[in-house]
Amino acid sequence: MPFPKLLFVLLLVSSHLTALATAPAPRPLPITRIDPTFWWVGMKNPQLQLLVHGPGIASSQVQLATYEGVTLDGFQKLESPNYLLVNLTISPTARPGKLKLEFKGAKKATYEYELRQRTTPGDKTKVQGISSADFIYLLMPDRFANGDPSNDVVKGNRAPGLARDSMYARHGGDLRGIEQHFDYLKDLGVTAIWPTPVVDNNMPRTGYHGYALTDYYQVDPHYGTNEDYVRFVQRAHQQGLKVIHDVVLNHIGSYHYLWLDQPAKDWFHQWPQFTRGNYRNGTVNDPHGAAQDRTLFSTTWFDTTMPDLAQENPLVATYLIQNFLWWVEYTGLDGYRVDTYTYSDPGFLMQWGQAILAEYPQLGMFGETWMQETEGVAQQAFWTRNVFPPVGGFKSNLPGAIDFILRQALLESLTKPTGYAEGVAKLYYAVQGDWMYEDASRNVIFLDNHDVDRVFSVLGEDVRKQKMALAWLLTERGIPQLYYGTEVLMKNFSRPDGLLREDFPGGWATDPKNAFTAAGRTPAQQDMHAYVRKLANYRKTHPVLQTGQLTHFIPEDGVYTYFRHDAQGRAVLVMLNCNATAKTVSLQRFAERLQGYTSAQDVLTDAVVPNLQTANVPAYTALVWELR
pLDDT tens for 602-621 read: 999 999 999 999 999 999 99
Say whether 34 sits in a helix, a strand or coil: strand
pLDDT at 576: 98
pLDDT above 90 as % of the chain: 93
Say which of 35, 308, 339, 502 is annotated catalytic.
339
Q: Looking at residue 488, what is its pLDDT? A: 98
By C-alpha distance, which of 241, 256, 159, 249 is closest to 195?
241
Please state, in angstroms and as integers, the Cα–Cα distance from residue 584 to each residue in 521, 579, 587, 588, 615, following that order.
35, 12, 10, 12, 6
Q: How far apart are CA 615 and CA 575, in angstroms?
A: 9
Residue 291: the pLDDT is 95
Fold of the domain spanning 136-405+441-545? TIM Barrel (3.20.20)
Q: Is the pLDDT of residue 184 over 70?
A: yes
Residue extent(s) of CATH 2.60.40.1180 domains in the chain: 548-627
The DSSP secondary-structure symbol of 26 reads: P
**SS3 sequence of 210-266:** CCCCCEEEEECCCCCCHHHHHHHHHHHHHCCCEEEEEEECCECCCCCHHHHCCCCHH
DSSP 466-510: HHHHHHHHTTSSSEEEEETTGGGT----STTT-GGGPPPTTSSTT
Spatial separation of the C-alpha atoms in residues 95 and 104, rounded to whole Å: 26
The pLDDT, as a whole number, for residue 23 is 47
Which of 211, 208, 137 has its CA nearest to residue 171? 208
Annotated active-site residue in 179, 368, 375, 453:
368
pLDDT digits (tens, 9 = 90+) for 130-172: 999 999 999 999 999 999 999 999 999 999 889 999 999 999 9
Q: Is the dihedral of CA 137, 141, 142, 146 positive or negative?
A: positive
Using CA atoms, how far residue 175 sits from 150, 221, 223, 335, 347, in Å, is: 12, 10, 5, 17, 35
| pLDDT at 236 (0 to 100) | 98
Query: What DSSP character marks residue 276?
Result: B
Is 412 an active-site residue? no
What SS3 class is residue 17?
helix
Query: What confidence tier does 314 reach under pLDDT thresholds 50, 70, 90?
Result: very high
List Cβ neighbours of 107 (8 Å cut-off, separation of 6 or more): 30, 54, 55, 56, 57, 59, 60
CA distance 533 to 448: 18
Q: What's the pLDDT band for 495 if we cut at 50, 70, 90?
A: confident
pLDDT tens sequence across 186-214: 999 999 999 999 999 999 988 999 999 99
More confident residue, 313 or 30: 313
State phi, psi for 522 to the nearest 5 degrees: -70, 165
25 against 512, higher pLDDT: 512
Under a CB-based contact definition with an 8 Å cutoff, are residues 101 and 57 in contact? no
The SS3 call for residue 177 is helix
In whole angstroms, what is the distance from residue 60 CA to residue 464 CA? 69
Q: Are strands 583-586 and 621-627 parallel, antiparallel or unpaired?
A: unpaired
pLDDT for 25 equals 46
The pLDDT, as a whole number, for residue 1 is 40
C-alpha distances out from residue 162 to 146, 195, 198, 603, Å:
12, 20, 17, 44
In this structure, is the dihedral angle defined by the CA atoms of residues 39, 40, 44 and 47, taken in order, positive or negative?
Answer: positive
Question: Rounded mean pLDDT of 41-55?
Answer: 97
CA dihedral 351, 353, 358, 361 (to 10 degrees): -170
Give 62-101 pLDDT, tens digit per residue.
999 999 999 999 999 999 999 999 999 999 999 999 999 9
Class of domain 548-627: mainly beta
In this prediction, residue 420 carries a pLDDT of 93
pLDDT in tens, 429-444: 999 999 999 999 999 9
- 31-44 pLDDT per residue, tens: 999 999 999 999 99
CATH 2.60.40.10 domain locations along the chain: 33-117
* Of the listed ranges 105-119, 221-235, 238-252, 390-404, the one predicted with least confidence: 105-119
The pLDDT of residue 2: 42
The helix (run of H) or strand (run of E) holding residue 116 is strand 109-117
- Assign 327 to helix, strand or coil: helix
Distance CA 360, CA 533 (A): 32
Q: Look at residue 106 in the predicted model and tell me its pLDDT.
A: 79
Kindly state the average pLDDT of the residues 18-32: 55
103 closest CA partner among 57, 50, 72? 57
Question: Domain spanning 33-117: which superfamily?
Answer: Immunoglobulins (2.60.40.10)
Helix (H, G, I), strand (E, B) or coil at 165: coil
Cβ–Cβ under 8 Å, residues 483 and 510: no
Angle subtended at Cα 569 by Cα 565 and Cα 570, rounded to the nearest 5 degrees: 55
- How do strand 109-117 and strand 39-41 relate by DSSP bridges? parallel
Its pTM stands at 0.94
Whether the CB-CB separation of 203 and 158 falls below 8 Å is answered with yes
Task: Note the pLDDT of residue 27.
Answer: 46
- Residues of the chain within CATH 3.20.20.80 domain(s) are 136-405+441-545
Per-residue confidence (pLDDT) for residue 29, from 0 to 100: 57
Q: What angle do CA 140, 249, 273 make, to 5 degrees?
A: 100
pLDDT of 13 higher than 70: no
pLDDT at 416: 95
Indicate if 112 belongs to the active site: no
CB-count exposure of residue 586 (10 Å: 0-12, 13-18, 19+): exposed
**103: pLDDT strictly greater than 80:** yes
What pLDDT is recorded for position 497?
84
Which tens digits make up the pLDDT trace of 525-563? 999 999 999 999 999 999 999 999 999 999 999 999 999
Within its chain, how far is the Cα of 514 from the centroid?
A: 27
Task: Tell me how far apart the alpha carbons of residues 483 and 449 are, in angstroms, rounded to a whole number.
Answer: 5
- HSE-CB at 134 with a 13 A cutoff on CA atoms is 28
Q: For residue 481, what pLDDT band results from cuts at 50, 70 and 90? A: very high
Q: Alpha-carbon distance 555 to 193, whole Å?
A: 34
